[in-house]
């Protein structure tokens, strides 16, 4: 009898622990507005081939120069894609998603890796793309909320996993920093052939790693020549 009672207690404890680790914590609503201004590098409205993901990079810092490393370091929280039932409506030009964080720091989205644990305070990014492959036809925008002053929603950071009652809004209208592409009428790094008068998001042509290195080398050479010229001028 003692053995049976002890096993029952262990089973109950295991059940409670399993339930706690998978328990729903906070909820995040993320979206653009209805009939938003979402464009590619040529100024065309984004089509059904595009997807939108929110996620984090952990300790990795994404830059325009290391685009080839983004996918390996990317942790998806949630994804919106065509058709409309999956969160992306290209006809009416809006995307929308709802995702819950569990108390163990994981995302309850079917598009998230169940082993990815998100840490409170991590910076959240929005990645818009038609393909994650780095080929000439690929276009990306990687945006975040770098300035929270005047936000219509909440800062784009991972909430406290212990907050089981909170709900947060991450709005595209609050995006203020573009690693590639453009956000809210400001074009960031990238190649464009058109500049829309008004836009909430604009993708840019993804640079191939080799071309980025060539640009960096050219810039370094230019700075070296300039420094030498200034040095010679200072000798006179």
pLDDT at 22: 55
For residue 7, the 8-state DSSP code is H
32-41: buried (b, 16+ CB within 10 Å) or exposed (e) per residue? beeebbbbbb
Q: What does each C-alpha distance from 181 to 126, 135, 171, 189 come to in angstroms?
A: 11, 16, 17, 6
For residue 98, the 8-state DSSP code is E
Q: How do the pLDDT tens digits run along the chain, 236 residues long?
A: 444 443 344 334 333 333 444 577 899 999 999 999 999 999 999 999 999 999 999 999 999 999 999 999 999 999 999 999 999 999 999 999 999 999 999 999 999 999 999 999 999 999 999 999 999 999 999 999 988 788 999 999 999 988 888 999 999 999 999 999 999 999 999 999 999 999 999 999 999 876 444 444 434 444 445 555 545 545 55
DSSP states of 149-190: TT-SS--SBPPPTT-SS-EEEEEGGG--EEEESEETTEE-SS
Beta strands at 94-102 and 182-183: parallel, antiparallel or unpaired: unpaired
pLDDT at 164: 87
pLDDT at 97: 98
Q: How many CB atoms lie within 10 A of CB 107?
A: 24
Q: What share of the chain is helix, strand, coil (3-state, %, to 5)?
A: 25, 30, 45
Q: What does each C-alpha distance from 72 to 62, 67, 122, 130, 208 come to in angstroms?
A: 11, 10, 17, 18, 16
pLDDT at 169: 97
Beta strands at 167-171 and 24-31: parallel, antiparallel or unpaired: parallel
pLDDT at 213: 45
pLDDT at 209: 77
């Amino acid at each position: 009898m003692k053995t049976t009672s002890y096993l029952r207690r262990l089973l109950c404890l295991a059940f409670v622990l399993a339930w706690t680790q998978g328990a729903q914590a906070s909820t995040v609503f993320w979206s653009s507005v209805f009939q938003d201004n979402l464009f590619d590098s040529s100024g065309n409205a984004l089509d059904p081939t595009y997807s939108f993901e929110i996620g984090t990079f952990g300790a990795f810092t994404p830059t325009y120069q290391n685009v080839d490393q983004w996918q390996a370091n990317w942790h998806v929280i949630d994804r919106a894609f065509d058709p409309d039932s999956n969160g992306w409506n290209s006809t009416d030009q809006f995307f929308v998603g709802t995702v819950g964080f569990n108390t163990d720091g994981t995302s309850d989205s079917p598009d998230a890796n169940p082993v990815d644990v998100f840490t409170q305070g991590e910076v959240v990014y929005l990645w818009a793309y038609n393909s994650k492959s780095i080929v000439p036809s690929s276009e990306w925008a990687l945006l975040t909320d770098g300035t929270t002053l005047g936000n219509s929603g909440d800062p784009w950071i991972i909430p406290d996993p212990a907050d089981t009652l909170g709900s947060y809004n991450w709005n595209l209208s609050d995006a203020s920093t573009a690693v590639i592409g453009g956000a809210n009428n400001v074009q960031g790094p990238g190649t464009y052939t058109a500049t829309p008068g008004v836009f909430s998001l604009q993708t840019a042509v993804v640079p191939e790693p080799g071309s980025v290195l060539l640009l960096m080398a050219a810039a370094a050479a230019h700075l070296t020549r300039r420094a030498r010229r200034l040095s010679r001028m200072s000798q006179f």
